[in-house]
Amino acid sequence: MKIGQVAAEADVSVDTVRFYERRGVLPIPQRRPSGYREYPASTVERLRMARTLQHLGFTLDEIIDALHAHDSGTATCDSELWRLEAVVDRIDAKISELRRTRRTITATMSECRAGRCRFTPAPGANPAH
């Protein structure tokens, strides 16, 4: 398959295919005598898997490691569970940070409603020039 066909079937851009190739998500494809890349049909499924892992919150390095474990035949649910746990830990940290940010915003809104706006200088204060 040519790169455009792979990209279309995997619902990614040609640039994404090239990027994944450079980063090691995809093996280096064979080249036709014309220089065009020639991908096996399995590349489409590999791209879809990489995108699925990305949407689950895996980093690119985690995706590469998981795919390489799969390629070597060493990947099992038990051996790969820690990757999912790492993603859950990152999600929990983001949720915690979002909650802190939400509390700050709602406190600022309450101050504004009470006439203590953080965005305007206090009466008698000298605004910065």
Q: What are phi and psi of 31, to 5 degrees?
A: -115, 140
Cβ contacts of 37 within 8 Å, gap of 6 or more: 2, 3, 29, 30, 31
Two structure tokens written together for 71: 């390629």
**CA-wise closest residue to 91 among 50, 52, 56, 63:** 56
| 17/3 Cα distance (integer angstroms) | 7
pLDDT the model gives residue 78: 85
Each residue's pLDDT tens digit, 59-111: 999 999 999 998 998 888 888 899 899 999 999 999 999 999 999 999 999 99
Which has the higher per-residue pLDDT, 126 or 14?
A: 14
Domain ranges of the chain: 1-75, 76-118
Write down the pTM of the prediction: 0.71
pLDDT value, residue 76: 86
Q: Is the pLDDT of residue 117 over 90?
A: no
Check whether 129 has a pLDDT greater than 60. no
In CATH, the architecture of 1-75 is Orthogonal Bundle (1.10)
- How does residue 115 score in pLDDT terms, banded at 50, 70 and 90? confident
